[in-house]
């Protein structure tokens, strides 16, 4: 019983060692038998993704044929690398495991999620089994499940697997460059506390001199003191209008007035003379009787 247990442990150790070697070996070795996937193999080498892949003991690569992958080869190097990272699953899947899935959806973690740039679930994939077929797509809400599982190209159980899908998966927001995280800032050294001697010798702060508030400007003073006196209205002397010149009608009226006055004056003179004569007669009459 102990011998069997020892042999099992040795076999497991050899299997793990062999698995580690297969994963650490470049991915192109797994693609060597399939010339129809040479473009994707070359892109893994160009983007240097074999280095981060070799750090994992369990990897599944979603491979796309040369004809299907041509739709993304014209992208920038940064975006192309990010897309390829979403085709590397941090778990093991082969035909046997996929056929054993029930009619449901599962979420798969990709290598892109380890960069820390994953936003809106674009570092995860959705794997859905429907009517006996398996579909892959981005886990971002609204993304289509348009990439269908075709076949398993290579598998080393629970270590490395390469399965073919019908078309590449492009999640939104994969055009961001991948940079290493910045180092944490160095802690600042605390300032030394002043000694009692320094505190005693420190000069006292000078009193703050409050500047007087600025007075009003000269123009303001001038406007306040110099008040213009109202100019009295000039009395316009009344102009004496000249007497109207005598007209012919006026002359006739004046002549008529003069003519009317002359008879009255003569009659009054005669009346006075008659009275005087009467008085004289009366006096002479009374004298004769005397």
* CA gap 185, 63 in Å, rounded: 41
Indicate the pLDDT class of residue 128, thresholds 50, 70 and 90. very high
Contact 144, 127 (CB under 8 A): no
pLDDT surpasses 70 at 102: yes
pLDDT surpasses 70 at 251: no
**What pLDDT, on the 0 to 100 scale, is given for residue 12?**
45
Beta pairing, strands 160-165 & 59-63: parallel
- The dihedral region occupied by 237, where left means phi > 0, alpha psi between -120 and 50, and beta the remainder, is beta
pLDDT surpasses 80 at 188: no
CA 157 to chain centre: 53
Chain segment 132-152, per-residue pLDDT in tens: 999 999 999 999 999 999 999
Kindly report the average pLDDT of the chain as a whole number. Answer: 74
Chain segment 231-248, per-residue pLDDT in tens: 544 444 444 445 455 555
pTM: 0.56
Give residue for tokens 């056929």: 99
**What pLDDT, on the 0 to 100 scale, is given for residue 284?**
74
**What pLDDT, on the 0 to 100 scale, is given for residue 98?**
93
pLDDT surpasses 70 at 208: no
**What pLDDT, on the 0 to 100 scale, is given for residue 57?**
87
* CA gap 45, 56 in Å, rounded: 17
Calculate Rg over the CA atoms of the chain: 65
Could you tell me which residue, 172 or 153, shows the higher pLDDT?
153
What is the average per-residue pLDDT within 57-68? Answer: 94
Q: pLDDT exceeding 90 applies to what percent of the chain?
A: 35
**DSSP letter string, 139-163:** SSTT----EEEEEEEEEETTTEEEE
**What pLDDT, on the 0 to 100 scale, is given for residue 51?**
85
What structural domains does the chain harbor? 9-165 (2.30.180.10)
């Amino acid at each position: 019983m102990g011998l069997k247990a020892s042999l099992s442990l040795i076999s497991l150790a050899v299997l793990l060692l062999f698995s580690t070697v297969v994963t650490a070996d470049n991915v192109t070795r797994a693609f060597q038998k399939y010339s129809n996937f040479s473009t994707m193999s070359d892109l893994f080498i160009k983007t240097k993704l074999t280095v981060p892949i070799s750090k994992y003991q369990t990897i599944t690569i979603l491979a796309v044929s040369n004809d299907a992958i041509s739709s993304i080869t014209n992208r920038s190097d940064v975006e192309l690398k990010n897309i390829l990272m979403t085709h590397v699953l941090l778990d093991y899947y082969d035909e046997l495991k996929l056929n054993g899935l029930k009619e449901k959806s599962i979420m798969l973690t990709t290598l892109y999620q380890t960069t820390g740039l994953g936003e809106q679930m674009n570092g995860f994939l959705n794997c859905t089994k429907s009517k006996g077929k398996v579909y892959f797509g981005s886990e971002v809400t609204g993304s289509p499940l348009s990439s269908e599982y075709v076949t398993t190209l290579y598998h080393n159980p629970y270590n490395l697997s390469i399965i073919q899908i019908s078309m590449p998966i492009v999640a939104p927001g994969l055009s961001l460059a991948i940079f290493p995280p910045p180092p944490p800032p160095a802690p600042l050294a605390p300032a030394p506390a002043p000694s009692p001697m320094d505190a005693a010798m420190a000069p006292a702060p000078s009193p703050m001199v409050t500047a007087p508030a600025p007075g009003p400007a000269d123009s303001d003073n001038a406007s306040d003191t110099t008040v213009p006196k109202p100019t009295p209205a000039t009395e316009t002397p009344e102009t004496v209008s000249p007497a109207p010149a005598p007209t012919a009608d006026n002359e006739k009226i004046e002549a008529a007035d003069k003519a009317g006055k002359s008879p009255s004056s003569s009659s009054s003179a005669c009346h006075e003379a008659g009275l005087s004569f009467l008085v004289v007669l009366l006096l002479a009459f009374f004298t004769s009787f005397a």
